[in-house]
């Protein structure tokens, strides 16, 4: 079944340990705790949010992009603690071309614990089967070794390196573009479960 945007509601997705639910303005204080931290955001942006008001504006932009069918933003809830531990987006969403890009930000206390492996096991079937996407992309800093390993674990193809694509106030960074196509996912999805 393909998800439709007519009802303009962000679907809730669930894994064994985590819940992905619609991003809301009420999430701003919890997200601000780690999205304002330069170290946490180093592979995302050189400009982390500075104020709670700025965090709220970011959330409003994410929700406006959802209304325009350009992204699907979730917060990630740890089911054991009921705490907001991160944010996940399918962004650069384009329903005509059937493509989207992955985006995730995690509280530092939840990094390198297998979180993204569990979430991707739910996001990939959602993207390919429910949204009917043909291509899902991971565009990552070359130094982000954890994300590189994750892309390779889930059979993403290394499309190439974009040299000195991003600037962080002090130096330029290469980014690596990975992609997974629906036909590739269908051939390998049995390995997920």
pLDDT tens for the chain, 193 residues long, are 345 555 688 999 999 999 999 999 999 999 999 998 888 777 777 788 999 999 999 999 999 999 999 999 999 999 999 999 999 999 999 999 999 999 999 888 877 777 889 999 999 999 999 999 999 999 999 988 889 999 999 999 999 999 999 887 788 989 999 999 999 999 987 666 5
Tokens of 66: 């959802």
Could you tell me the strand order of the sheet in which 18-22 lies? 13-14, 18-22, 72-78, 84-94, 99-106, 135-141, 172-181, 157-167
Whether residue 122 contacts residue 48, with contact meaning beta carbons closer than 8 Å, is answered with no
For residue 3, being part of any structural domain is answered with: no
Domain limits at 148?
13-192
What integer pLDDT is reported at residue 43 of this predicted model? 79
> What's residue 190's pLDDT?
62
Number of helices (H), then strands (E), belonging to the chain: the values are 5, 8
Residue pair 78/85 in contact (Cβ under 8 Å)? The answer is: yes
5, part of any domain = no
Is residue 7 assigned to a domain?
A: no
Question: Count of domains in the chain?
Answer: 1
pLDDT at 135: 98
DSSP notation for 7-68: T--PPPEE-SSEEEEE--GGGHHHHHHHHT-TTTTTTT-SS---SHHHHHHHHHHHHHHHHT
List the CATH number of the domain containing 142. 3.40.630.30
Pairing of strands 135-141, 99-106: parallel
Question: Quick check: is 129 in a domain?
Answer: yes
In a domain, residue 1? The reply is no
| pTM for this model (two decimals) | 0.90
């Amino acid at each position: 079944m393909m998800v439709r945007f007519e009802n303009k509601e962000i679907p809730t997705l669930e894994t064994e340990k985590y819940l992905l639910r619609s991003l809301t303005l009420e999430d701003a204080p919890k997200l601000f705790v780690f999205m304002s931290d330069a170290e946490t955001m180093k592979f995302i942006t050189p400009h982390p949010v500075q104020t709670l008001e700025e965090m709220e504006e970011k959330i409003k932009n994410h929700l406006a992009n959802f209304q325009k069918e350009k992204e699907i933003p979730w917060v990630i809830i740890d089911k054991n603690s009921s705490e907001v531990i991160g944010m996940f987006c399918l962004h650069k969403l384009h329903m005509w071309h059937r493509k989207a890009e992955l985006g995730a930000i995690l509280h530092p206390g939840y990094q390198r614990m297998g979180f993204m492996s569990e979430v991707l096991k739910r996001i990939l079937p959602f993207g390919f089967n429910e949204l009917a996407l043909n291509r899902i992309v991971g565009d990552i800093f070359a130094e982000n070794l954890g994300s590189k390993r994750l892309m390779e674990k889930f059979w993403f193809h290394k499309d190439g390196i974009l040299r000195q694509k991003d600037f962080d106030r002090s130096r330029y960074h290469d980014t690596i573009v990975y992609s997974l196509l629906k036909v590739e996912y269908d051939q390998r999805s049995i390995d997920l479960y």
